[in-house]
A and B are shown apart, each in its own frame.
Chain A
Amino acid sequence: MATRQTASLARLMRAPAIILLLIWMVVPLGMTLYYSFLNYNLLNPAVTSWAGWFNYQYFYTDPAFLDSLWNTLVLVVGVLLITVCGGIAIAILIDKPIFGQGLVRILVISPFFVMPPVAALIWKNMIMHPSYGVFADIAKFFGTSPVDWFAQYPLFSIIIIVAWQWLPFATLILLTSLQSLDGEQMEAAEMDGAPAYSRFIHLVLPHMARAITVVILIQTIFLLSIYAEILVTTNGGPGTASTNLTYLIYRAARLNFDIGGAAAGGVIAVVLANIVAIFLMRAVGKNLD
């Protein structure tokens, strides 16, 4: 009897969170899906009509859409490459017996706590600015002409900024994983004369494989939604050179007031994110039992 009471109490305690999240998921997504089939522009809401698949077709045939998909892919893969490779290297470095390890750790993880607009503006104005940035100062020091990063390499510049923000995350997760590595096994391998790179390939990397997977999946979820960094640096330009899918949808919704088109883009973004999410959920789910 007591258990039945506990069970109903537990149900009552769970209910608010579940109901809130259910509403949060079903209502906006349902609305997005509905709007995606409408001709609906906020500048002219009176002529709203059923559009069928038009918004999707429009999005699909728009060259900006394919550009944005490509840019999204380049952005995600570029940042992942830098953060995962850099993260592994830095994690191994910090894990060595160095002086001031705690402080080094603090310095390395700091960029993660810098809010995106600040991170982007610091890099835009202080580091990469063609006349006043540190890179320009370095170029002048060596007698070469400074590079106008955001005009010449817009997407690459954004990759650098985002990678700087996410490198600490990768490093911290990989370091956590590295610290649970069996020290005796490493010592044994060292005594048997296994060289450093073969210890890395056969012991360290397999041990970190799971953590690397998790880093890749979680970062991908966040990297698909990069927005503020683009807004304050390049505004998606020049042209569509640094427009990702998130930014394209933002432009359709907020600058072109094209509700139907933005909603169709939103549905596409959900599909993309879900492909990644399925793999992540599998990785996390394994750990739950």
Chain B
Amino acid sequence: MARAVTRNTRIGWTIVAWAVALVIFFPILYTIITSFKSEQEAIAGFDLIPSLTLESYQTVQTQNNYFRPFMNSVILAVGSTLLALIVAIPAAWAMAFSPTRHTKNILMWMLSTKMMPAVAVLVPIYLIFLRFGLMDTRIGLTVLLMLINLPIVVWMLYTYFREIPGEILEAARMDGASLRDEILYILTPMAVPGIASTMLLNVILAWNEAFWTIQLTTTSAAPLSAFIASFSSPQGLFWAKLSAASTMAIAPILILGWFSQKQLVRGLTFGAVK
């Protein structure tokens, strides 16, 4: 009897939870479905079963040269992440393994740079980009995105590196390991998962950045976030086409995101919630 009740409650909660989840996911699902419809079907009213045409995907590519903003997104997201890692790994390493009495203050100060609202420096950055011919270039935007996310990257790496026990190094040294051995066989394998997680979250953040990309690009360096924003003009009233462009823009990051739930919590709360 008691068991039946538990089972029934479980089924009840399952139904409620799935209903809520589907409502939240619905806009994404509906976009994916619409992307496989023809333009006439898309505005014909609510309908969940498409005719499965790839027409819209082809139109987006042929009319808007979709491949270009897509590659720009890849280059910007990966490029800015790699740059940030090159700068941040040594810094986080030094702060985790040879902390000084200033380390905490430095970390807090780095965090504070992340709190600066982007719009507050819109004027100077815009003028600098104009002055030095960086408007609509990938290199300018890559460096900018690197700077924006650098505090999060340092912080995340720091929290991961701090979890590597220092005693293990002492033990290795006692066993006669050289510095090279230490780095190659002990530290690197222990640091790689943390670095990979940091990379994952940062690629997601850089991919979805939509303030600077819209401000500082027009066509040649525009990533997907700027490209899709341009669909808000009247030509955007092509539902299926918009859906196809949107689906391709979010699909890669959505899948990466599903694997990054833990990193998301760690990276965006700066270790404040565990």
| A positions within 8 Å CB-CB of B | 6-7, 9-14, 16-18, 20-21, 24-25, 27-29, 31-32, 35, 90, 93-94, 96-101, 103-127, 132, 134, 137, 164, 167-169, 172-173, 176-177, 180, 210-211, 214, 218, 221, 224-225, 227-228, 231-233, 245-246, 249-250, 253-254, 259, 262-263, 265-267, 269-270, 272-274, 276-277, 280-281, 283-285, 287-289
Residue in B13, B242, B250 whose CB lies within 8 Å of A125 = B242
Q: Measured between alpha carbons, how far is A88 from B94 in the docked complex, in Å?
A: 38
Q: Which B residues from 50 to 100 make CB contacts under 8 A with A?
A: 87-88, 90-91, 93-95, 97-98, 100
Question: Which chain A residue lies CB-closest to B115?
Answer: A277
| Cβ contact within 8 Å between A99 and B10 | yes
A262→B210 contact, CB < 8 A:
no
The interface residues of chain A lying within 8 Å CB-to-CB of B18 are 98, 100, 104
Which secondary structure characterizes the binding site on chain A?
Answer: helix
Interchain Cβ contacts within 8 Å, total number: 304
In the assembled complex, the Cα of A272 lies from the Cα of B115 at a distance in Å of: 10
Interface centre among A96, A117, A250 (most CB of B within 10 A): A117
Chain A residues near B87: list those with CB within 8 A. Answer: 16-17, 20
Q: How many Å lie between the Cα of A288 and that of B158 in the bound state?
A: 11
* Residue of B10, B97, B210 with highest tally of chain A CB at under 10 A: B210
Q: Produce 1/0 per residue, B218-249, CB < 8 A to A.
A: 00000011101101100011010011001001
Smallest Cβ distance from B10 to chain A, in angstroms? 6
CB atoms of B269 and A270 under 8 A apart: no
A132 partner, pick from B154, B239, B246, beta carbons under 8 A: B239
Q: Taking CB as reference atom, which chain A residue is nearest B11?
A: A99
Q: A172 CA to B201 CA in the complex, in Å?
A: 15
Chain A residues, CB < 8 A from B114: 221
B232 near A25 with CB under 8 A, answer no
Known contacts A25-B113, A267-B120; A134/B14 CB under 8 A: no
**CB contact under 8 A between A14 and B95, given known A21-B150, A29-B120, A176-B273:** yes
Assembled-state Cα–Cα distance A288/B104 (Å): 7
Convert B239-268 into 0s and 1s, putting 1 for each residue whose CB lies closer than 8 angstroms to a CB of A: 100110010011001101110010011001
Instruction: Please pick, from A96, A99, A113, A122, the residue contacting B254 in the complex, using a CB distance under 8 A.
Output: A113
Cβ of A32 to closest chain B Cβ, rounded Å: 6
B31 lies within 8 A of chain A by Cβ: yes
Tell me whether A14 and B91 are in contact in the complex, defined as CB-CB below 8 angstroms, given that A211-B273, A262-B122 are known contacts. Answer: yes
For the complex, give the distance between the alpha carbons of A249 and B119 in Å: 7
DSSP class of B's interface residues: helix, strand, loop or mixed?
A: helix
Complex-state Cα separation, A107 to B91, whole angstroms: 36
Known: A20-B150, A249-B122. A280 touches B225 (CB 8 A): no
The answer to whether A93 and B93 have CB atoms under 8 Å apart is no
Q: Does B190 contact A (CB under 8 A)?
A: no
10 contacts between A and B (CB under 8 A): A13-B90, A13-B94, A113-B254, A117-B229, A122-B31, A211-B273, A225-B119, A266-B121, A281-B108, A287-B272
Besides A14-B94, A109-B258, A263-B123, 17 more A-B contacts (Cβ < 8 Å) are: A14-B90, A17-B110, A20-B150, A32-B123, A35-B124, A93-B16, A96-B13, A107-B22, A115-B224, A121-B236, A122-B31, A169-B264, A172-B265, A227-B214, A254-B126, A272-B117, A277-B115
